[in-house]
């Protein structure tokens, strides 16, 4: 995959006026529009607010009137007008009006589309990505702001990725925008030394954006392909700029090896199909080959990081023609290394599954029990679902069904909820309805 799948003009699609298509298109265009405004005016906070207003206007108007011939230009023009209106308000006039009025002729604001010049057609998403990872921000704030500005995720989705309340995440994003403004950050790619300092946060951001696209935490769809596609595109750009950086290559390999399974991950009605039940003939062989070649070149280069290890685990899964031939012993060893390099409750959870496949489900449950006191994961639906799966392997159907129901109650993904509920019903068909409150 060497280019963005939406290289064709979005407006050429006759279904582009539908609500779903509009939502997808707006998510794709949001970072491009924000980058265009920040490049021109420099005030990230005010520009981000203006872009959000333009996106809201488009979400209301486009389903009824159709997508404009130049949707990106429409959004930039509307966002620019909103920005000028804000500048002219009583609260912002003294700080910004002179600068923006001088920078933008009135005729340009009211005339041709704001992105109609060739110079405005470039994609500054990678520059925007590094801006959002400014050193003035804490790492959680960098990631949260980038997920909002570049990934197009809503506050609820970002909160779910961080395992924190939505209100907490909303405050974090607001503080992050204020910090960028206070730091006087300029819209340009940082120098080599600064870029190296921000690289870890940038990689983590791309990782989270990809994960949200591959397994959506909220809503009625299991996946949001536009997010994963955008994460892969940005990671390709990053890898192209740092071709010898092993962890960036590992991150790209991980995304490719994981995204290759997407065609088999859902059934005909959008239902979740677990890895063990997927039709592996439907996996994207082109992505598998590219990801495998990339991680094969990367691993021998030197110190191995968490993204390379996760890519290696994905490669072991993907090279098995059938689930029965999976090399679980190698996967368990890789998870052991990953837990040493990057300790995380989710890593321990996955190691518990590998342990169960090698040493038996009872051993996996023993390891899983150590996560019960971890506040980040104690009530998370993935912990409950994994416990249910291991109990099912042990033949404890009633206990497994109850754990599946509890997991279904806690997930915010409708497809996952249906899948977990169906698992519970298959094991305990006599019991109906939601699980009893804790």
One digit per residue, the tens of pLDDT, for the chain of length 438 reads: 333 333 333 334 444 345 667 777 887 788 889 988 888 887 788 888 889 889 888 988 898 888 998 999 999 999 999 888 887 774 555 555 556 555 555 444 443 444 444 444 556 778 888 888 888 888 788 888 888 888 777 788 788 766 678 898 888 988 888 888 788 777 778 777 777 778 888 998 899 889 888 887 766 676 677 778 888 988 998 998 888 899 999 999 999 999 999 999 988 888 899 999 999 999 999 999 999 999 999 888 767 899 999 999 999 999 999 999 999 999 999 999 999 999 999 999 999 999 999 999 999 999 999 998 888 887 889 999 999 999 999 999 999 999 999 999 999 888 899 999 999 999 988 765 544 433
Quick one: which of 312, 362, 365, 383 has its CA closest to 341? 312
**Residue showing tokens 């082109």:** 286
375 CB burial (10 A radius; 0-12, 13-18, 19+):
exposed
Tell me the C-alpha distance between 226 and 108, whole Å: 32
In sequence order, the β-bridge partners of residue 272 are 266
Find out whether 190 and 198 touch, Cβ atoms under 8 Å.
Answer: yes
Helix (H, G, I), strand (E, B) or coil at 266: strand
Structure tokens at 186: 């300029």
Tell me the C-alpha distance between 80 and 192, whole Å: 32
Helix (H, G, I), strand (E, B) or coil at 219: strand
pLDDT for res 100? 57
Find out whether 384 and 368 touch, Cβ atoms under 8 Å.
Answer: no
Within 13 A of 238's CA, how many CA atoms are on the CB side? 33
Instruction: Give me the sign of the Cα torsion angle 417, 419, 423, 426.
Output: positive
Tell me the C-alpha distance between 402 and 205, whole Å: 35
Structure tokens at 141: 């704030």
DSSP 3-state helix, strand, coil percentages of the chain (rounded to 5)? 70, 0, 30
pLDDT for res 353? 96
Quick one: which of 41, 73, 374 has its CA closest to 181? 41
């Amino acid at each position: 995959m060497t280019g963005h799948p939406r290289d064709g003009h979005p407006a050429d699609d006759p279904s582009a006026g539908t609500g779903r298509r509009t939502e997808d298109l707006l998510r794709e265009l949001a970072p491009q529009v924000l980058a265009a405004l920040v490049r021109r005016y420099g005030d990230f906070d005010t520009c981000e607010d203006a872009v959000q207003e333009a996106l809201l206007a488009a979400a209301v108007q486009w389903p009824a009137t159709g997508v404009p011939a130049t949707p990106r230009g429409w959004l930039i023009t509307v966002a620019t007008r909103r920005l000028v209106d804000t500048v002219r308000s009583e609260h912002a006039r003294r700080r910004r009006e002179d600068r923006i009025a001088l920078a933008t002729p009135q005729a340009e604001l009211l005339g041709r589309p704001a992105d109609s010049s060739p110079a405005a057609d470039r994609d500054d998403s990678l520059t925007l990505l590094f801006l959002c990872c400014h050193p003035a921000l804490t790492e959680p704030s960098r990631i949260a702001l980038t997920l909002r500005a570049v990934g197009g995720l809503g506050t609820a989705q970002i909160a779910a990725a961080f395992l924190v309340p939505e209100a907490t995440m909303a405050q974090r994003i607001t503080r992050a925008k204020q910090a960028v403004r206070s730091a006087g950050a300029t819209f340009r790619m940082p120098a080599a030394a600064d870029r190296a300092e921000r690289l870890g946060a940038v990689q983590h951001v791309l990782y989270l954006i990809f994960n949200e696209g591959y397994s959506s935490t909220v809503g009625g769809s299991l996946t949001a392909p536009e997010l994963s596609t955008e994460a892969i595109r940005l990671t390709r750009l990053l890898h192209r700029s740092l071709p010898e950086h092993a962890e960036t290559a590992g991150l790209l390999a991980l995304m490719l090896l994981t995204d290759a399974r997407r065609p088999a991950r859902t059934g005909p009605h959008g239902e979740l199909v677990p890895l063990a039940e997927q039709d592996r003939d439907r996996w994207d062989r082109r992505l598998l080959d590219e990801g495998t070649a990339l991680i094969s070149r990367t691993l021998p280069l030197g110190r191995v990081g968490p993204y390379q290890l996760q890519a290696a685990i994905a490669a072991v899964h993907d090279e098995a023609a059938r689930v029965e031939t999976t090399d679980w012993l190698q996967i368990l060893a890789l998870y052991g290394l990953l837990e040493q390099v990057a300790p995380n409750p989710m890593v321990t959870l996955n190691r518990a599954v590998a342990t169960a496949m090698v040493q038996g489900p009872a051993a996996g449950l023993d390891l899983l029990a150590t996560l019960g006191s971890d506040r980040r994961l104690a009530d998370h639906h993935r912990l409950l679902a994994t416990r249910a799966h291991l109990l099912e392997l042990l033949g404890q159907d009633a206990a497994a069904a109850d754990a599946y129901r509890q997991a279904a109650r806690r997930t915010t993904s409708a497809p996952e909820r249906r899948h977990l509920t169906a698992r519970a019903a298959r094991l305990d068909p006599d019991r109906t309805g939601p699980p009893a409150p804790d």
